[in-house]
């Protein structure tokens, strides 16, 4: 999935850390200074010489040591602006869909951006000068992290992407509800993977497939059906930018606005503590369920286990909030 316009840039560079070391995915190498980059690129699309390069290096960390991930290149598409196909905003990217030109696509970055491996990043880090970065900015590479940004550290970045269109394949199965067939509960996760497929998405996809199998067997053996229609949705092209789910929802937007009542997703499930996110309207329901489900390792509810962990290792604010809620 291309993430920026094709460019050829030569400029000084520096270091900025966007995430903590405790995160499994660390955006650790970007430009120290962005001023004048956009204006310079607008006047000269081929070479920027008076601005700072924007380099993005994703380092997937295994414990405290970075792996040489030369082939592990995630997407850095501007998802906070809008997910999905950048050429079909707010409409499904079907075969015959009207598409924007690349120049008009808002989520294809105009500033040069490219994910690189830790192997390549280390070479760049070692030529940086200047003050040492704060401890919370330091990564796991065996070197001294410095801000850089001096004229002695110069890099050339050439971006040339493959802009071919390729199909993505969603798999949708439907169990029609017995009482409210026009009220839809969507149960989803993606099936495409990027490097760590056993965890993301398969640990979340397997429960979805097992639920679909159980629903099918219940209907076949007993005639049972859920009261509402359940759509089991297995999305494609999630990793490059939530493409499969976004485009399907955009294509079916009118029907979803009329019929969808809930969406339940499981992705990257793991042993350990409970982790949930979603609509606040479901908070009470989720809390009740968490108090009922027993953690197989400790024998207490998954809610109590999470509370105990936060009371021991959480921040001062978390501890205060947990005590207040229990009281």
Residue 1: name the closest of 90, 80, 86, 59 by CA. 86
- Give buried/exposed letters for 212-238 (b at 16+ CB in 10 A, else e): beebeeeeeeeeebbebbbbbbbbbbb
**Contact predicate 31/53, CB 8 Å:** yes
Pairing of strands 171-175, 228-235: antiparallel
283 is catalytic: no
Main-chain phi, psi angles of 231, to 5 degrees: -105, 120
Asked whether the CA dihedral 274, 226, 245, 74 is positive or negative, the reply is positive
Considering the candidates 106, 220, 238, 283, report the single residue annotated as catalytic: 238
Cβ 149 vs Cβ 32: under 8 Å: yes
> Would you state the structure tokens that stand for residue 152, as one six-digit string?
């002695």
Q: Are 120 and 114 in contact (CB under 8 A)?
A: no
Give Cβ neighbours of residue 289 (< 8 Å, ≥ 6 apart). none
Residues involved in catalysis: 238
């Amino acid at each position: 999935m291309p993430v920026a316009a094709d460019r050829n840039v030569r400029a000084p560079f520096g270091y900025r850390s966007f995430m903590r070391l405790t995160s499994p995915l660390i955006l650790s190498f970007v430009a120290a200074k962005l001023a004048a980059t956009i204006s310079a690129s607008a006047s000269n699309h081929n070479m920027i010489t008076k601005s700072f390069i924007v380099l993005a290096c994703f380092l997937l960390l295994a414990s405290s040591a970075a792996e040489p991930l030369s082939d592990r290149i995630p997407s850095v598409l501007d998802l906070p602006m809008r997910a999905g196909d950048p050429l079909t905003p707010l409409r499904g990217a079907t075969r015959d869909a009207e598409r924007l030109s690349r120049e008009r696509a808002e989520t294809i970055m105009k500033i040069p951006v490219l994910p690189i491996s830790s192997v390549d990043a280390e070479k760049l880090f070692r030529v940086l000068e200047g003050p040492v970065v704060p401890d919370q900015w330091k990564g796991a590479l065996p070197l001294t992290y410095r801000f850089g940004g001096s004229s002695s550290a110069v890099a050339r970045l050439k971006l040339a992407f493959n802009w071919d269109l390729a199909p993505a394949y969603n798999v949708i199965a439907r169990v029609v509800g017995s009482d409210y067939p026009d009220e839809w509960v969507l149960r989803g996760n993606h099936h495409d993977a990027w490097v760590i497929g056993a965890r993301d998405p398969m640990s979340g996809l397997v429960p979805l497939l097992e639920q679909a199998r159980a629903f099918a067997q219940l209907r076949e053996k007993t005639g049972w059906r859920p009261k509402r229609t359940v759509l089991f949705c297995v999305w494609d092209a999630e990793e490059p930018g939530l493409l499969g789910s976004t485009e399907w929802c955009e294509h079916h937007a009118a029907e979803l606005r009329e019929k969808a009542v809930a969406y339940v997703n499981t992705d990257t499930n793991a042993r350990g503590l409970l982790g949930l996110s979603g609509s606040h309207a479901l908070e009470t329901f989720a809390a009740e369920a968490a108090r009922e489900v027993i953690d197989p390792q400790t024998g207490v509810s998954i809610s109590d286990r999470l509370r105990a962990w936060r009371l021991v290792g959480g921040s001062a604010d978390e501890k205060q909030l947990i005590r207040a809620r229990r009281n």
